Structure 1
Amino acid sequence: MPERVLLLAGALACAHPAWAAVTEADFLDEMPVVLSVSRLSQPLNEAPAAVTVIDRDMIRASGFRDIPDLLRLVPGFSVAYTRDNTWAAGYHGLGDAYSRRFQVLVDGRSIYSPHYGAVYWTDLPLSIDDIERIEVVRGPNAAIHGANAFAAVINIITKAAAQVPGESVSLQLGEQDMRGLTVRHGGGDGALRYRLTASAQQRDRFERDVTHKTAWDNGDYFEASKTTFVNGRMDWQVSPDSDVMAQFGLSQGNWNAGRRVDDPANPDPLLEPREQDSRAQYVQLAYHKVESAHREWRVQVYHSRNRFNADAQADLTFLNPAYGVVSANQYVLQTRSNIELQVNEQWSPGLRGVWGGEVRQETVNSPQSYNSGKTLSGVLARAFGNLEWRPDERVLLQGGAMLEHHYFMGTDISPRAAANFTLTPGHVIRLGVSRAYRSPTFFEEKGNQVLLWESGALADTATVPSQGLAPERVLSREIGYVGHWRSLHLELDMRLYRDRINDFIGQIRAPDDVSFKPKVFTFANIGSIDARGGELQLRWRPSQALDLSAHYARVFLSTDTADKNFKRDIPVSAPRNSWGLLASYRLGNGWETSVFAQRNGTQKWLTEGDITEAFIRVDARLARRWKWQGREVEAAVVGQNLGKDYQEFRDTNVFSRRVYGSLSLAW
């Protein structure tokens, strides 16, 4: 077996709890093997749901340096930077500032926030250069990954230590004050390998001077971030039939966000902080044991901690001399402790399965968000199982369910069933139906956001706790087709779907209260939503020189929600039509070039967002690789948004043309 295949197989086996049927043929075959859909390794055309695989070649060709940008390569996804160093993502609409309807995993470790439901991409201690691949399950997958796998699952699989021996340095420098430095060392030999990565990143996100807004909004907008992190991974082959994977990560962000308004007659009562401090840490340990050719198991434990702190003040004496100064202590501390068991078994050549369980504790402490210094805590427990049965060489049946007890929503079960029918070799029709739940976050259930006078007395209330939320529920039905033309080196994936969401949770106006603000908000179950549409993606690699991927999505949304704002906004929360393309070509003599193009229709980001007009974005990359004094060198120049400026999430977030250069060395 070639060494690179061994390394890749080891990387995927350690990175995700699904190893039972991973063989050399899986990685040498042109049809990608996916691991995230059922916790069983499967060729793409045998998976029970639609999957997009973003591999190393696509990551490099895109020129993206922020991980959320990679979701622009997935059909049906909308991605935008919001503010305060956070990102928004929506799949088939319903996107807001917190992306709360996705389950996001890094090597099997959930990074979904129990507080807001957000994914804190900016302080994730992970370099884009350490990503082996990303598998995006397009559609609910709660039967495998639990309640928050409501709209999609984004599983980031990092490189094993054995894949990156030696040293490497990567440097980026460009417009919008972009600077990046990543240093990596891979060591060890034989049974024990390790890697260490350290990185420092700096960004200005948008144009600062925005003059097209009203007088109240005019000002000097800024979104500047400086983030440093270090992470490490160790892979230890304890014996021929067992191995250990250990990881850790630390990050610290020194961020600046908000707007500068220097006119004393136009102060800023929104309490937007200019300085933000964010820190994240995690440790993770996994033990994998192969008991026989038919049974193996894995135990994983991890603990993560995220802390955010940003104090802000606003002098409101211009409204009334009696008001004084209002302060906001935006401190948030979140933790997650998790233990999980997974067992893969093969009972016969045509029947295999996976089962296991998980226990997790989540805590949140945020005095301003909950009007209390107490730490909120909850424990959830899960048991899951999934079967794959092949009664005929042309028929593959799959079914599974997750039984889950959540600290807010009680006990629920999330089932899924799918059937894959092979029409002719390489051409498969998939029928699937699944039900998923999304549990309320701590803030949705108990949020009591307040502002205080300098004396500590209550000045204002922004949100009040809910009256008790039911979980969101979705019934998803789909018809899919996966085609593989080997002679053309072409893969095509098409999907038609219809989702019915009930008990949608939205932020609505609470009864009027005494306040200098006109509204106080709460969360409630406000109605149902129908989502239907279609999407396709293709990958064409006719030669070693050319690699082209493209996707298209069409979405229709309707709702009968009671709240008039959501009733107006939800149907336009997804662009009706969107498409994307990434093409790379190797010119020879180490040169390669790539182009990324994206077109999004007009959409409305929910709650905090604005209507963003349709836009076309075009990026281009030119790079060359060569050897110098025993070192592998790559130099590249990347131009982003080479056409007209466009807006992201808010109409003040103006994304303009920008260029950066990069240089990397490895030895």
Structure 2
Amino acid sequence: MTETINVSDDRQRVNKFILLLLLAIAMCLGSPAAVIANEFGFVEDDLPIVLSASRLRQTINKSSASVTVLDREIIEASGARSVVDLLSLVPGFQVGRLSNGIPVATYRGQSERFNPRMQLLIDGRPTYVPLYGGIPWGELPLSISEIERVEVIRAPNSATFGPNSFYAVISITTRSPQSDAGWIVEAEAGGNDYISPTLSYFGKWSDIDFRINLKTEQDQGFDGIDDRERAKQAGFRAHKALNNTDTLELATGGIVGGHIERVTVLEPGDLTNYLVATNHYTQMIWERSKSTDESVRLQYYYNYLKLDDRDIREFDLGVVTQNPATLGIPFTVDIDRRAKSTRHEVEFQHNLRVNEDHRVVYGAALRRDTVQGRYIFADFDERSILSQRVFLHSEFQFNDKNTVNSGVLVDHNDLSGVSFSPRVSLIHSLRDNQQLRLGYSRSVRSPLSLEEEGRIEFIYQLPDGNNLTLIDLYDEQTLKPEYIDVVDLGYFFVSSDGSLTFDAKLSHQKLSDQIRTARNENFDEDVIDGEARFFTNRASSTLNSLEFELEYKPTDRSRFRLSYSYAFDENTEFANQMLTPDHTLSLFGQMKLNRGLNLSAEYYYISDWIWDDVSDQSNVNRLDLRVEKTLKLGTVEASLALQGEWRLGTNVDYLERNQIEDLYFAKLTLRF
């Protein structure tokens, strides 16, 4: 077929490009000049500090796992309009939109719309939704302008953050109330009738620093499809220093948004309701910090998600049953997709230095989740899930060359009982500026209430008063947790002046007891087609991958990044399904010119792959360019940014119906 030939040609071109790129990098890192320079003047403290890999402050070269750091400069220069957009800059990440209001992100593929194998934390608060699993990407009460920094742990991390920190963990730090002062007004508009004004205020009342953020957003979505999206959000964060060691923080916020709940259907009259989601949170943190290595932290947070989606539709019985004898007989269906979930959690954490060579962090947490939904459980009962966990991490430096990171988390919950998540890594310094890391980690994903007890049924009400029941999903059996085991070998290099860093990782993963749906074709309870789906532990898979990140800062006014991931030797069943793309590539460049002019560019390429809940092949081949001009107008600092996003060849976003167009945006920012 023609498509197969094109895919092959694309892969050959990309393979040649990657080979040349690897040779160039090897020549650069292996040059004698670089080695000689590394013996003079290298300062490890100049490297980024990561906090989320093990809950210990570690320089990125001695982190217990591979971490990508996106700072505020990159976030602003990228022109990203959502968190999902930012993740395109991370090696191995794929993002897409099933429809405009349904963004999805995954690491190394093998994902669908509701991806229960990722974890996102905002200021240490997990956003995972127990209702359907995964992250509510389209209903996050967070704007890009609030983000100070993003850390992405590109490895399983249940040992640190508990079950469901499975494929990767994204940890977002928002801007502190002390980081700015005054008003910031932003207004962005562009393609697909996108309009988004944002108002922020950084202030101080007595001895309390605070930040307020208000935002609205609307977007008409893909051309030719009614997938409009609307959202209004607000956020508040306050910080108070009690004394020299103790602080209190309070954060609260929420979003009310709506989008067309259009999945894979296209015909007029299909079930494409307008879903309204309400997502809000409250978070309180007390922290006592005696030094960088000794602190106590107590956190409480509350998450709430409510989905409003109900519609009564009329259909033709003959069309639904495909029985000509019943054509023309009308019937109604009450489609009630209303649902809600809550989460309360209290977590204690203690960091301390045992001696000069040994640091530890330990803690415990209690959690209560509730889920409720007629659509997914066929009743209105509220289900409660209690969880308890304890964790311990240790960093021990044997000598100047070798450091061992180890940790374990033990979790108990009402659905799957007790689970253990261990991790260990050995870091060996070849030189001060070069480290090797050998690591092993195991993560757990507990079954969801939907997977254990879910029952999705449609009751068709006939004119004669009788009902017909179509069952789409039923609970069949007790499920086991999923497990993922990963062994990786990492290498980190930094030049003597810190202008060049290179981070590479070769890993092997095995995913066991994967929970997937199967179909029962002889289900007697379904009187319409006799079929229904159920969840079962029915799949396992293996995957190897090579990833690297290269960042080069030739001057303090220019910056270049390259991120690449190559997946290979996936087991045959999953390879044939194309659930993981072979190649994922992103390039980023930024130059700060004179007179407040900034230029930036990004290039994204992802080879063919398929999201697990559709059959269309996705691919990405896109170029973004952005120019920004900043100037002072009296006491006001103003900046205007123009951005273009161009297709380079064929692009398919999740489904072929989602027509990708060249898009243009403008953004005005005022600070006063």
TM-score, normalised via structure 1 length: 0.89
Equivalent residue, structure 2, for 1:646:
651
The percent of aligned pairs where both chains have the same amino acid is 26
Q: Deviations over 1:218-266 (max 9, x none)?
A: xxx222111001000001001111000100002111323439999xxx6
Mapped partners of 1:313, 1:450: distance in 2: 15
Kept in 2: contact 1:299–1:340 (CA 8 A): yes
- Structure 1 residues 567 and 32, CA, compared in 2 at 3 Å: closer, same or farther? closer
Equivalent of 2:361, from 337, 347, 354? 354
Tell me, yes or no, if structure 1 residue 480 matches structure 2 residue 490: yes
Mapped partners of 1:597, 1:510: distance in 2: 45
60-69 or 290-299, which moves further after superposition? 290-299
Matched residue type, 1:359: L
- Structure 1 residues 235 and 557, CA, compared in 2 at 3 Å: closer, same or farther? farther
Equivalent of 1:42, from 46, 58, 71? 58
Tell me, yes or no, if structure 1 residue 335 matches structure 2 residue 381: no
Kept in 2: contact 1:431–1:478 (CA 8 A): yes
Equivalent residue, structure 2, for 1:429:
436
Mapped partners of 1:42, 1:527: distance in 2: 37
- Structure 1 residues 293 and 76, CA, compared in 2 at 3 Å: closer, same or farther? closer
Equivalent of 2:175, from 159, 163, 179? 159
Tell me, yes or no, if structure 1 residue 243 matches structure 2 residue 275: no
Matched residue type, 2:398: P
Q: Deviations over 1:357-416 (max 9, x none)?
A: 011111111101100110111011100000001110111111100000022110011000
Equivalent of 1:414, from 400, 418, 421? 421
Equivalent of 1:452, from 439, 454, 459? 459
Equivalent residue, structure 1, for 2:546:
534
Mapped partners of 1:538, 1:560: distance in 2: 32
Equivalent residue, structure 2, for 1:402:
409
- Aligned-pair distance for 1:28? 9.8
Equivalent residue, structure 1, for 2:556:
544
Tell me, yes or no, if structure 1 residue 344 matches structure 2 residue 346: no
- Structure 1 residues 413 and 241, CA, compared in 2 at 3 Å: closer, same or farther? same
Equivalent residue, structure 2, for 1:284:
283
Kept in 2: contact 1:74–1:551 (CA 8 A): yes
Secondary structure of the corresponding residue to residue 486 of structure 1:
coil
Mapped partners of 2:527, 2:552: distance in 1: 59
- Structure 1 residues 457 and 109, CA, compared in 2 at 3 Å: closer, same or farther? farther
Matched residue type, 2:665: Y
Equivalent of 2:447, from 435, 440, 451? 440
Equivalent residue, structure 2, for 1:617:
622
182-191 or 137-146, which moves further after superposition? 182-191
Secondary structure of the corresponding residue to residue 70 of structure 1:
helix
Equivalent residue, structure 1, for 2:303:
304
Kept in 2: contact 1:81–1:87 (CA 8 A): yes
Mapped partners of 1:419, 1:480: distance in 2: 10
- Aligned-pair distance for 1:474? 1.2
Mapped partners of 2:582, 2:96: distance in 1: 17
Secondary structure of the corresponding residue to residue 593 of structure 2:
strand
More helix per residue: 1 or 2? 2
- Aligned-pair distance for 1:175? 1.9
Kept in 1: contact 2:44–2:59 (CA 8 A): no
Mapped partners of 2:231, 2:43: distance in 1: 35
- Structure 1 residues 517 and 620, CA, compared in 2 at 3 Å: closer, same or farther? farther
Equivalent residue, structure 1, for 2:232:
228
Mapped partners of 1:602, 1:308: distance in 2: 33
Kept in 2: contact 1:554–1:577 (CA 8 A): yes
- Structure 1 residues 306 and 540, CA, compared in 2 at 3 Å: closer, same or farther? same
- Aligned-pair distance for 1:558? 3.1
- Aligned-pair distance for 1:453? 3.0
Matched residue type, 2:430: L
- Structure 1 residues 610 and 64, CA, compared in 2 at 3 Å: closer, same or farther? farther
Equivalent residue, structure 1, for 2:256:
252
Kept in 1: contact 2:516–2:539 (CA 8 A): no
Mapped partners of 1:333, 1:458: distance in 2: 27
- Structure 1 residues 364 and 480, CA, compared in 2 at 3 Å: closer, same or farther? same
Equivalent residue, structure 1, for 2:221:
205
Mapped partners of 1:260, 1:421: distance in 2: 50
Mapped partners of 1:50, 1:309: distance in 2: 39
Kept in 2: contact 1:54–1:133 (CA 8 A): yes
Secondary structure of the corresponding residue to residue 428 of structure 2:
strand
Equivalent residue, structure 2, for 1:590:
596
Equivalent of 1:70, from 83, 86, 103? 86
Superposition pairs for residues 620-631 of structure 1, below 5 Å? 620-631=625-636
Q: How many residues align?
A: 618
Equivalent of 2:665, from 638, 644, 660? 660
Matched residue type, 2:354: W
- Structure 1 residues 202 and 637, CA, compared in 2 at 3 Å: closer, same or farther? same
- Structure 1 residues 439 and 56, CA, compared in 2 at 3 Å: closer, same or farther? same
- Aligned-pair distance for 1:191? 3.9
Tell me, yes or no, if structure 1 residue 575 matches structure 2 residue 574: no
Matched residue type, 1:384: F
Kept in 2: contact 1:51–1:135 (CA 8 A): yes
Q: Deviations over 1:89-114 (max 9, x none)?
A: 22112111112111111111111111
Secondary structure of the corresponding residue to residue 61 of structure 1:
helix
Mapped partners of 1:409, 1:281: distance in 2: 28
Equivalent of 1:373, from 380, 397, 401? 380
- Structure 1 residues 525 and 486, CA, compared in 2 at 3 Å: closer, same or farther? same
Secondary structure of the corresponding residue to residue 376 of structure 2:
helix
Kept in 2: contact 1:194–1:235 (CA 8 A): yes
Superposition pairs for residues 595-606 of structure 1, below 5 Å? 595-606=601-612
- C-alpha RMSD of matched pairs (Å): 2.2
Kept in 1: contact 2:119–2:134 (CA 8 A): no
Kept in 2: contact 1:488–1:542 (CA 8 A): no
Tell me, yes or no, if structure 1 residue 364 matches structure 2 residue 371: yes
User: Structure 2 unaligned runs (5+)?
Assistant: 1-41, 320-325
Mapped partners of 1:185, 1:490: distance in 2: 37
Kept in 2: contact 1:610–1:651 (CA 8 A): no
Secondary structure of the corresponding residue to residue 554 of structure 2:
coil
Mapped partners of 1:61, 1:646: distance in 2: 23
Mapped partners of 1:635, 1:626: distance in 2: 9
Mapped partners of 1:582, 1:28: distance in 2: 24
Tell me, yes or no, if structure 1 residue 506 matches structure 2 residue 512: no
Mapped partners of 1:411, 1:69: distance in 2: 36
Equivalent residue, structure 2, for 1:15:
none
Secondary structure of the corresponding residue to residue 176 of structure 1:
helix
Equivalent of 2:567, from 555, 560, 568? 555
Mapped partners of 1:341, 1:488: distance in 2: 36
Secondary structure of the corresponding residue to residue 503 of structure 1:
strand
Mapped partners of 1:102, 1:256: distance in 2: 24
Equivalent of 1:393, from 395, 400, 411? 400
- Aligned-pair distance for 1:491? 0.7
TM-score, normalised via structure 2 length: 0.88
Equivalent residue, structure 2, for 1:13:
none
Mapped partners of 1:380, 1:120: distance in 2: 21
Mapped partners of 2:104, 2:452: distance in 1: 21
User: Structure 1 unaligned runs (5+)?
Assistant: 1-25, 209-220
Tell me, yes or no, if structure 1 residue 109 matches structure 2 residue 109: no
- Aligned-pair distance for 1:544? 1.6
Matched residue type, 1:108: G
Matched residue type, 1:51: V
